[in-house]
A and B are shown apart, each in its own frame.
Chain A
Amino acid sequence: MTSPMSISLHVNGERVDAQVLPRLNLADFLREHLHLTGTHVGCEQGVCGACTVRVNDEIVRSCLVLAVQTNGASVQTIEGLSDSGEVADLQAAFRSRNALQCGYCTPGMLMTVQDLLKLEIAPDRERIREHLSGNYCRCTGYQAIIDAVQATARARMGNPS
């Protein structure tokens, strides 16, 4: 074990200064140090997508990023996206379509969906299914999620902000 390092970053718009061990990953930093428990840990090897967060406008698996790598970065978690209202329409679509059951994959899923919808305004079902293939859901069978994403994309096209 080496000694802690100082990092300074923005998380959901708030400045955070912390001392962290070099081995600490971003998911554990968010959950255990900042108590942002909306970022979930499913596999700890970058496969399941439950820990997906946004770092400097790119989505990443926070279990594969070290906290020290985010020094100077801007990190957005599901708490930030929710409070800012950025994904309010997407969340409403998930609610009305029951696109979540246990909800454990949902924060990561919403992160990834929002990433897709920022890149493409009108993805078809196959494209949505492909983009979400790195986010596992064991409850829904995915169809309701695809439906909710498609509904959100359509609504956003009709109401460009």
Chain B
Amino acid sequence: MTVAKPNSGLSMHDRPNSYIGKSVPRPNLDRLMQGRGAYVSDMELPRMAHVVFLRSPHAHAKIKAIDTFTAKRMPGVIAVVAGQELAAVITPWVGVLSHLKGLKSAPQHAIAIDRVCWQGEAVVALVAASRALAEDAAEAVSVEYEELEAVTDMRTALDSRTPVIHASLGDNLAFERIHEAGNADRAFADSDEVIETEFIFGRHTGVTLEPRAVVADWNPAEARLTIYQGTQAPHMVQNVAALHLGLAEQQVRVVCKDVGGSFGIKVHIYADEMATYALSKLLRRPIKFVADRVESFNTDIHARDHRCKGRIGVNRDGTITAFEIDDLTGIGPYSMYPRTSAIEANQVVNLVGGPYVTRNYRARARVVFQNKNVMCQYRAVGHPIACSVTEGLVDLAAMRIGLDPVEMRRRNLIPDDAYPCASPTGLRFEQLSHHASLDKLLGMMDYDGLRAEQATLRKKGIHRGIGIASFIEVTNPSAAFYGVGGAKISSQDGVAVRLDAQGSVICQTSITEQGQGSESLTAQIVGSVLGVSMERVRVILGDTDNTPYGGGTWASRGAGIGGEAALQAAKILRKNVLDIAAAILQSAPAELDIVNDAVVNASDGTPRIELKELARIVYFRPDTLPPGLQPELMATRHFVPREYPFAFTNGVQASWLEVDTETGFIKLLKHWVVEDCGTIINPQLVDEQIRGGVVQGLGAALFEKCVYDERGQLTNANMADYLVPMSGEMPDIDVGHVVSPTLESELGAKGAGEAGTAGAAAAVANAVNDALAPFGTLVAEIPLTPQVILTALGRI
């Protein structure tokens, strides 16, 4: 990676134990590489039973009768439980938040009662000694359904002829938001050119390689429920489980060890997980649920599935005069709990036009119910849609007035010296670097060279394209995201740091690890601040009994929020250690430093006392310390951003690809990203987050789509038919950085987990349209399958 500006804001960058800004390997990778990880799907407990859910084959149906007589008598079967029986143990929920005004949803039960609303909704739980025996029993259950008309097409969901899914709600409109800024009408009327098109985004899903998994263990003797779950937000799970089981939060412990992929899929609480908690309470024993792959496709949240009409006004000098969008999305039959399913559309409204100076903006977003699987937040929530619409429109405008897409952006991106400033939707930007990022990107990719190559190849009938996409990304969310709407989802995080009796350091943090490197960044920060080698720092996370209270890892918040808490906690511990050392050494704290696990003279680095020895004295010979000195070798600090609701980051991506105009296949040749996430704690981990994020965006751009038929049946709910990126199709991705630290924290770090996903599809779509420019056609739909390409070319 390359860095444009040096890190700043910290004084401990060049000491022997300075890990901030360095690509040190993550601790504990050996465990995962040797097959000694601890994923929930690996767990076994004494007396544990397995639950399998019989799920609705219909998208919408009344449950007329359930016959479990035979199933209950099958070998190994412990219990067969339907919705009504389970409802005595766990209450239903409604996925709304008060700050999303007008958002409505219907009560959802852990297991369906009387009616099923999507293909895959759980109807009966079968608990048996093994999963195989529970599956056998599921086949013996007979359910009589009366099929109801399914609402599947979001475009007609609000028509008067369309059935209303939840009669109590009056219509199928879950949420609507309208935003006006400036004067879009006048701006369009005065523009030299106005271009509009409709952008279509396929419904896709996260496909975590480890399916969702939970082991719930109700111990009636302790009146305590321990939930082992692959989740990004343990304290959120604790709150929700306690609330709906009628328990106090202290009666629920959530433990999260290794997690086989999350990407936002595992930041929600699903009905089948709630059912598993309730079954454990009902049956007074550990219950394990691991989704199989078909269940994953039918029940893991889906995302995107938007149809967004976009409009841009432009003058012949390249000035963008206005943006307008009309966005429509279908979210399934319920708003997801507890984060709700209106956030993605809300983000689209927030983010369209975000990188540009244009002040005139009109937006409408409508979120409708359908009889399909639920949709909710998945990596880069709303960003890929907003970015694809914005950048697609900007390219269309550039094409219309005959301006190079790079020059078009140079003339309209917010200048790097214009900060702080705000977007037309009121988003506040502390410091972004659109122009520096674009300049860096063009250098990395040799833009002019590629343009020349493109022209040469075009003469030979080879159609290559270059696509550029600038973007902004929401990171480090404050309480503005969920807390203000009433959700008990913490935006603050805490870290406790303590020196053990041999001078090693134990850190307990409320952020979580699903492979991003939370453990590493915490150890790097604590080691750097304390002057302790990383091998002596052990990080504990993912346990509500043993970490401070906090949000977890989602919305690109772990490094920026949890990292700052770690830094501040380590600073306090460092001060405490130096105070004690000064007392022992009859020196002054200011004359001492900690380097390489020992207290040294600040002036010349002479070793004075090893931390190991200091800890020995504190813990075992406190009688030798001066009277009145009470050592505190444990320190805790919390952090939450208060000044800015979100720490926006920015970046730009470029795609270089080739379109085979005979077959419609697209070959990705190269991809570049420059992004600005502020202070970089571990360059390698940041780059790998970017690359992984890009590839998830490329999957959406080219392959991934949940294909439903008109009856609401998901027709490709398996890994052979639902395509994800494979190594053979993915390009190498070059990553560069511009560094604009946030001044809201001492660390200065913003998030990086979603930037790759935010802009990848937009860059690819723009590159495809660039490649197809000689054919005078426009593609505005992803995934860009061969069928879409050949249709656009008029070949089929």
**What chain B residues lie within 8 Å of A79 (beta carbons)?**
34-36
CB contact under 8 A between A104 and B33, given known A43-B719, A45-B293 = no
In the complex the two chains form, what is the Cα distance from A143 to B1 in whole Å? 14
Task: Kindly state whether residue B39 has any CB partner on chain A within 8 Å.
Answer: yes
Q: Determine if B35 and A45 form an interchain contact, defined as CB atoms under 8 angstroms apart.
A: no
Q: Determine if B719 and A104 form an interchain contact, defined as CB atoms under 8 angstroms apart.
A: no
Interface centre among B31, B263, B684, B730 (most CB of A within 10 A): B730
Q: Which of A96, A102, A128 contacts B260 (CB 8 A)?
A: A102
Task: Kindly state whether residue B153 has any CB partner on chain A within 8 Å.
Answer: no
Q: Which of B33, B41, B719, B720 contacts A100 (CB 8 A)?
A: B33
Which partner residue on chain A sits nearest B258 by CB separation? A103
Closest chain-A Cβ to B517's Cβ sits at a distance in Å of 8
Q: Determine if A101 and B692 form an interchain contact, defined as CB atoms under 8 angstroms apart.
A: yes
Q: Determine if B293 and A102 form an interchain contact, defined as CB atoms under 8 angstroms apart.
A: no
**What chain A residues lie within 8 Å of B39 (beta carbons)?**
37, 40, 104
Q: Determine if A39 and B695 form an interchain contact, defined as CB atoms under 8 angstroms apart.
A: no
**A-B interface contact total, Cβ < 8 Å:** 179
**What chain A residues lie within 8 Å of B732 (beta carbons)?**
125, 143
**What chain A residues lie within 8 Å of B44 (beta carbons)?**
35
CB contact under 8 A between A101 and B516, given known A44-B293, A106-B33, A141-B695 = yes
Q: Determine if A144 and B691 form an interchain contact, defined as CB atoms under 8 angstroms apart.
A: yes
**What chain B residues lie within 8 Å of A41 (beta carbons)?**
41
Which partner residue on chain A sits nearest B689 by CB separation? A101
Indicate with 1 or 0, residue by residue over B729-744, a CB within 8 angstroms of chain A CB atoms.
1101100000000000
Which partner residue on chain A sits nearest B23 by CB separation? A98
Which partner residue on chain A sits nearest B208 by CB separation? A138
**What chain A residues lie within 8 Å of B260 (beta carbons)?**
40, 102-104
Task: Kindly state whether residue A10 has any CB partner on chain B within 8 Å.
Answer: no
Indicate with 1 or 0, residue by residue over B4-31, a CB within 8 angstroms of chain A CB atoms.
0000000000000000000001100111
**What chain A residues lie within 8 Å of B724 (beta carbons)?**
136, 138
4 closest cross-chain pairs (CB), A and B: A38-B35, A103-B32, A101-B515, A104-B260
Interface centre among A24, A140, A143 (most CB of B within 10 A): A143
In the complex the two chains form, what is the Cα distance from A143 to B756 in whole Å? 14
Indicate with 1 or 0, residue by residue over B126-156, a CB within 8 angstroms of chain A CB atoms.
0000101000100000000000000000000
Task: Kindly state whether residue A7 has any CB partner on chain B within 8 Å.
Answer: no
Closest chain-A Cβ to B229's Cβ sits at a distance in Å of 15
User: DSSP class of B's interface residues: helix, strand, loop or mixed?
Assistant: loop
Task: Kindly state whether residue B88 has any CB partner on chain A within 8 Å.
Answer: no
In the complex the two chains form, what is the Cα distance from A83 to B33 in whole Å? 11
**What chain B residues lie within 8 Å of A23 (beta carbons)?**
132
**What chain B residues lie within 8 Å of A125 (beta carbons)?**
732
Count residues on chain A whose CB falls below 8 Å from chain B CBs. Answer: 59
Count residues on chain B whose CB falls below 8 Å from chain A CBs. Answer: 59
Task: Kindly state whether residue A110 has any CB partner on chain B within 8 Å.
Answer: yes
Q: Determine if A136 and B35 form an interchain contact, defined as CB atoms under 8 angstroms apart.
A: no
Closest chain-A Cβ to B155's Cβ sits at a distance in Å of 31
Interface centre among A42, A44, A83 (most CB of B within 10 A): A42
Q: Which of A32, A44, A95 contacts B25 (CB 8 A)?
A: A95
**What chain A residues lie within 8 Å of B31 (beta carbons)?**
103
Task: Kindly state whether residue A68 has any CB partner on chain B within 8 Å.
Answer: no
**What chain A residues lie within 8 Å of B130 (beta carbons)?**
32
* Contacts A/B (CB < 8 Å), 5 sampled: A37-B35, A38-B35, A43-B719, A45-B718, A101-B514
Taking A96-B25, A128-B727, A136-B209 as known contacts, 7 extra A-B pairs with beta carbons closer than 8 A to each other, sorted by chain A number, are A23-B132, A31-B42, A45-B293, A100-B33, A102-B514, A132-B727, A141-B693
Chain A 59-89 residues near chain B, CB threshold 8 A: 77-79, 82-83
Task: Kindly state whether residue B206 has any CB partner on chain A within 8 Å.
Answer: yes
Task: Kindly state whether residue B46 has any CB partner on chain A within 8 Å.
Answer: no
**What chain A residues lie within 8 Å of B696 (beta carbons)?**
138, 141
**What chain A residues lie within 8 Å of B211 (beta carbons)?**
42
Task: Kindly state whether residue B688 has any CB partner on chain A within 8 Å.
Answer: yes
Task: Kindly state whether residue B633 has any CB partner on chain A within 8 Å.
Answer: no
**What chain A residues lie within 8 Å of B37 (beta carbons)?**
37-38, 103-104
Which partner residue on chain A sits nearest B263 by CB separation? A138
In the complex the two chains form, what is the Cα distance from A97 to B683 in whole Å? 12
Q: Determine if B719 and A36 form an interchain contact, defined as CB atoms under 8 angstroms apart.
A: no
Closest chain-B Cβ to A19's Cβ sits at a distance in Å of 15
**What chain B residues lie within 8 Å of A140 (beta carbons)?**
688, 691-692, 695
Closest chain-A Cβ to B404's Cβ sits at a distance in Å of 29
Chain B 686-729 residues near chain A, CB threshold 8 A: 688, 691-696, 718-720, 724-729
Indicate with 1 or 0, residue by residue over B185-197, a CB within 8 angstroms of chain A CB atoms.
0000000000000
Q: Which of B29, B210, B720, B726 contacts A104 (CB 8 A)?
A: B210
In the complex the two chains form, what is the Cα distance from A142 to B293 in whole Å? 22
CB contact under 8 A between A110 and B261, given known A102-B514, A133-B727 = no
In the complex the two chains form, what is the Cα distance from A145 to B732 in whole Å? 11
Chain A 125-158 residues near chain B, CB threshold 8 A: 125, 128-130, 132-146
Task: Kindly state whether residue A119 has any CB partner on chain B within 8 Å.
Answer: no
Task: Kindly state whether residue A105 has any CB partner on chain B within 8 Å.
Answer: yes
Which partner residue on chain A sits nearest B26 by CB separation? A98
In the complex the two chains form, what is the Cα distance from A136 to B733 in whole Å? 18
Q: Determine if A102 and B33 form an interchain contact, defined as CB atoms under 8 angstroms apart.
A: no
**What chain A residues lie within 8 Å of B515 (beta carbons)?**
100-103, 139
Interface centre among B26, B75, B688 (most CB of A within 10 A): B688
Task: Kindly state whether residue A50 has any CB partner on chain B within 8 Å.
Answer: yes
